[in-house]
Structure 1
Amino acid sequence: MAMELRALILLLLCFPGLQGQSPEVQRRREGDALYFECPYTAQTEGWQTKFWCFQKDGRCQEVVSTYSEHEKKSKDGRIKIEDKATNKTVFISMTDLKAEDSGTYFCAIYPSYNQYMPLRVVTLNVFKELLKWELDSLAVQWPNSNSMLWCWREQALVEGQTSSRRSEIQSLQDTASSKYAQGTSTVTMEKLQTQDSGVYWCAVGSEHTQIMEVVLSVFKRTQQHTAEELGNISVQCHYKIAAYGAASKAWCKKEEGNTCNVLVTTSSEPPADPSTAREGVRIQDDTQQGIVTISMEQLQVQDSGVYWCALQERSGLLRMEEVTLSVSKALTPGGFPDTEGKSHKILLGDSLEPSSNGNTFIILSVVLLILLLLALVTSIALGVRHYKLLRRTGHREAEDTSDRPEGTAQPGSAGKRESSQDDSQRSADINLDVQSQPSPQDPLYCNVEPSQAHRNPQHVEYAVIAFSQSPRSGRE
């Protein structure tokens, strides 16, 4: 920002017409576009040529102008200018922005020889956005440069105070290298880690003139694994063979702070702290495929935590991948977690051994199945028996009905009425109704209902019938 402020002050001193304007800053990502408007007044309308200038050393370096159709756009076609006299406005468009487009620009008119009248000024900051994985490398280039390219991290607060640029340049030089060749300056950073994320400024020359902003984001590779107590796991971590094939690899467990205790390593040297070594942990480095394989056996709940596959260097550990491990309590055969280190016993007696839980469950299942089958067989047998009884009862009733003579009334049932053409000649129909079993000495009467008798009967006949025994017993 200091470089931008100095450039703006210099521009205002060279062009007094801009002193009444407030500085304007536009920030864009590489590949974005900038659309800018420069209004002008009626007094300047007669000056036909309008310019879009890049401010360099206090002067106008013409980018595009309205002087001719050929000059209305840049050579690569990314920057264009258009003068709309009806609106008294000059329109500027800059597309597919690049980091080298950063700088201070202004619209201007050309009233006389080698003189420019600025209309509006803007400071354009085009930044590079770089997304990287840990252990990746990056290279920032600045073409057409006649001097070394320097980059430093944006000033940050350290313990409540702003760190100096010198210390930040020095800290970056510890992890980066720069070189100049064939008119191009290059800054390279290798073995990136998440803590390298941030905003960087690049400058050229002995005065570190700012020319570029780089926004770097470094992401870590992660894995998640789950296992049961006394189980085993196997973890694989990949790396670039050309870059890290010969480097030593390590497996460490993350502790509080930034400490990662090494459990096993491919180096011939043992871990710095032998007490951190753990039995059942092995590491194997396949340099042909670029894979590190770590195995852990007989896991315990306390093994849960965060681990690193890491490069082991003299300066310390560089994380390759982060692994989160979660170890849960093992389940007993009954399906309950063994929270006290002992198998739970089902509530059938405390004397049962843990292995009997499964057998008891099987026995109970078999007994319930047998009871269910017995209930099903019993239900079927009862249904068949009931069906046979109903069928037998139906046959008896049919036989009784077929044995009765026509016209004979049985005790307890209504007599059957018979009628024919000859009945019309009789004085009345005779109904025989026996409601109960008569005794042998009781007579049997036959009554005629009034509705059944003729109004003027010519003959009336009476009959008294007596049985020596009941009708059914006589038939039998």
Structure 2
Amino acid sequence: VELRALLLLPLCFPALQAQAPEAEKRLSEGSNLSLRCDYTPRTEIQQKKAWCRLRENKCEPVVETIGGPNSHSYNEKVTKGKITIEDIRYYRIVTITMTNLQAEDSGTYSCAYRSSTNTYIPLRTIPLTVFKELHKWENESLSVQCPYSTMVYPLETKFWCQREDQAECKEVVRISHYSTRSNSPAVNGRTRIQDDTQSRTLTITIQNLQTQDSGVYWCAVYRRYRFTPIMEFKLSVSNMLAQTTASSTTSTTQPTPSGNSPPPSSNAHTFSILSGVLSILFILALISLIVACIRKCKQLKRRGNKQEEDIYDKPDDIAQLDRTERTESPKDDSEDLQYITLNHKFQLSPEAPLYCNVEPSQVHRKPADENVEYAVITLK
């Protein structure tokens, strides 16, 4: 932001002497700026309205309405590049829109109207700072470039400083015209600065970044007893332990972010995929468990009061199973003792027949018919 330009505004624009400068607007790259400027009844609605940038104490119109005495419409809208100005005459309002802001858009701007003497009378003055956001991991290196305009002299001493409040900046390293002439960098600890006067670009490199390096930094020059920023950076250094924890959680290797872009989100993507797969497997396992439980319940219901029993039965009448008239030597009674085991799933009623396997010698046989002889005996 060109603070010097703000101090000289009353000299360029006498109508601004009663107007206090507004607070600085700070936006990140890629943001949009929208604001409105009211003009008083003293301002002719046909007068041209402009959005101008202060460079070397002069108002340079960036975009301007057509205006003129032949303009009688209630609204006039003009777009140039990413900047749009609209004059809403019915309400005596000028609106400004800037899209996709970049660091080089930083500067001091004014809503103004062109007077009858072709001078621009400011309605509102805005200091605008657009900063770059940098995201890095601990122990990495950082390299940034600050192109500077013709407003900065090539042999002027330039600084890399860390901003502490709205106006103060703590010097980290500087490069003087002696180093610039010899085209050699200036080094302070882990920070190095080099000035290429041919391309009008400062290059700053920081080695072995630490979490305490996080903060707001300026490429700046020192004028009127204060630092005047050329470009602003917002640096965030993340702890390496957090990176390692995230990698172990997702069982993947965290890629190291490069350049000035934020750390990649591949771990988050991998974690989402793994979470989805695990969720599907859990659902399938739960469905299988439910199906198994249902089948088990159906089997128990079908079984009812049925039970398994082991029946050990001893024949009631062993003698009937082995009745014979033979006179051969009898077998041991222990050999005639036979037991059977019958497994069944239903409880038998007392009237139900019982079947078993027996030895042939145990089969009940009908006794052979005996020959009966009849005799008549007479006693005398």
Partner of 2:214: 197
Match of 2:310 in 1: 381
1:176 and 2:219 matched: no
In structure 1, what is the Cα distance between the partners aligned to 2:222 and 2:204? 18
Q: Per the alignment, in what secondary structure is the counterpart of residue 42 of structure 2? A: helix
**Of 217, 232, 235, which aligns to 1:213?**
232
C-alpha distance 190-107 of structure 1, shift in aligned 2 (>3 A): same
Aligned-partner residue type, residue 87 of structure 1: Y
How far apart, in 1, do the equivalents of 2:11 and 2:159 lie? 29
> By how many angstroms is 1:109 displaced?
1.4
1:43 aligns with 2:42: yes
- Per the alignment, do residues 199 and 164 of structure 1 end up closer, same or farther by CA in structure 2, a change over 3 Å counting? closer
2: CA distance between counterparts of 1:113 and 1:33? Answer: 33
Alpha-carbon separation, structure 2, partners of 1:388 and 1:238? 69
Q: What SS class does the counterpart of residue 182 from structure 1 fall into?
A: coil
Deviations 1:357-401 (A, max 9, x none): xxxxxxxxxxxxxxxxxxxxx9631595899995554569xxxxx
Which residue number in structure 2 is paired with residue 115 of structure 1? 119
1:27 aligns with 2:26: yes
Q: Determine the C-alpha separation between the residues in 2 that align with 1:183 and 1:112.
A: 41
Which letter maps to 1:216?
L
Amino acid at match of 1:180: D
Deviates more, 1:59-68 or 1:30-39: 59-68
Gaps of 5+ in 1: 157-161, 226-235, 241-377, 397-476
Q: Judging changes above 3 Å, is the alpha-carbon distance between structure 1 residues 144 and 118 closer, same or farther for their aligned structure 2 residues?
A: closer
Give the letter for the 2:121 counterpart: M
Q: Is the 8 A contact 1:153 1:169 kept in 2?
A: no
The amino acid of 1:35's aligned partner reads S
Amino acid at match of 1:142: P
Runs of 4+ in structure 1 off by over 6 angstroms are 236-240, 385-389
Aligned residue type for 2:211 = T
| Contact 2:148–2:230 (8 Å) recurs in 1 | no
The CA distance in 2 between the partners of 1:13 and 1:391, in whole Å, is 122
In the TM superposition, residue 129 of structure 1 has moved relative to its aligned partner by 0.7
Structure 2 CA distance for aligned equivalents of residues 117 and 83 of structure 1: 16
TM-score for the superposition, normalised by structure 2: 0.52
Report the residue type matching 1:9 in the other structure. Answer: L
Q: CA RMSD in A?
A: 4.0
Query: CA offset at residue 182 of structure 1?
Result: 2.8
The count of aligned residue pairs is: 238
| 1:68–1:151 CA distance, 2 compared to 1 (3 A) | farther
Secondary structure of 2:18's partner? coil
Residue 8 of structure 1 aligns to a residue in which SS? helix
Instruction: Tell me the CA shift for residue 212 of structure 1.
Output: 1.8
CA-CA distance at 1:132 after TM superposition: 1.7
Report the alpha carbon displacement of residue 125 of structure 1 after superposing the two structures with TM. 1.2
Amino acid in structure 2 at the alignment position of 1:201: W
**Residue aligned with 1:178, SS:** strand
CA contact 2:133–2:233 (8 Å) conserved in 1: yes
The answer (yes or no) to whether the contact 1:47–1:110 under 8 Å persists in 2 is no
Q: Helix, strand or coil for the counterpart of 1:32?
A: coil
Contact 1:143 1:185 in 2 (8 A): yes
* Residue of 142, 152, 162 corresponding to 2:161: 152
Tell me, in whole angstroms, the C-alpha distance in 2 between the residues paired with 1:238 and 1:62.
Answer: 46
Q: What's the CA shift for 1:164? A: 7.5
Inter-partner Cα distance in structure 2 for 1:97 and 1:204: 23
Measured in 2, the distance between the counterparts of 1:125 and 1:55 equals 14
Q: Deviations over 1:290-333 (max 9, x none)?
A: xxxxxxxxxxxxxxxxxxxxxxxxxxxxxxxxxxxxxxxxxxxx
Which digits, 9 at most, give the CA deviation of each residue in 1:213-232, with x for residues without a partner? 1101122333259xxxxxxx
The one-letter code matched in structure 1 to 2:212 is Q
Tell me the equivalent position of 1:424: none
C-alpha contact 2:106 2:130 (8 A) present in aligned 1: yes
Q: Which amino acid aligns with 1:196?
A: D
Deviation at 1:99, TM superposition (A): 0.9
What is the SS of the residue equivalent to 1:31? Answer: coil
In structure 2, how many angstroms separate the alpha carbons of the residues matched to 1:209 and 1:379?
97
Deviations 1:195-248 (A, max 9, x none): 2211001224776532221101122333259xxxxxxxxxx99999xxxxxxxx
Q: Write the mapping of 1:255-266 to structure 2, written as runs, cut at 5 A.
A: none
Structure 2: stretches of 5+ with no match in the other structure:
69-76, 175-185, 247-252, 258-306, 313-341, 355-380
Identity %: 37
> What is the SS of the residue equivalent to 2:90?
coil
**Cα distance, 1:98 vs structure 2:** 1.1
Given residue 202 of structure 1, which amino acid in structure 2 is its aligned partner? C
* Cα 1:172–1:197 shift into 2, 3 Å: farther
Residues 97 and 126 in structure 1, CA contact (< 8 A), matched pair in contact too: yes
1:152 aligned partner, one-letter code: C
| Distance in 2 (alpha carbons) for counterparts of 1:387 and 1:96 | 83
The structure number with the bigger radius of gyration is 1
CA contact (8 A) 1:151 1:187 kept: no
Distance 1:388 1:58, change over 3 A: closer
Within a 5 Å distance, the mapping from 1:12-161 to structure 2 comes to 12-24=10-22, 25-67=24-66, 72-74=78-80, 77-134=81-138, 135-144=140-149, 146-147=153-154, 149-155=158-164
Q: What amino acid is the match of 2:309?
A: I
Following superposition, the deviation at residue 29 of structure 1 comes to 0.7
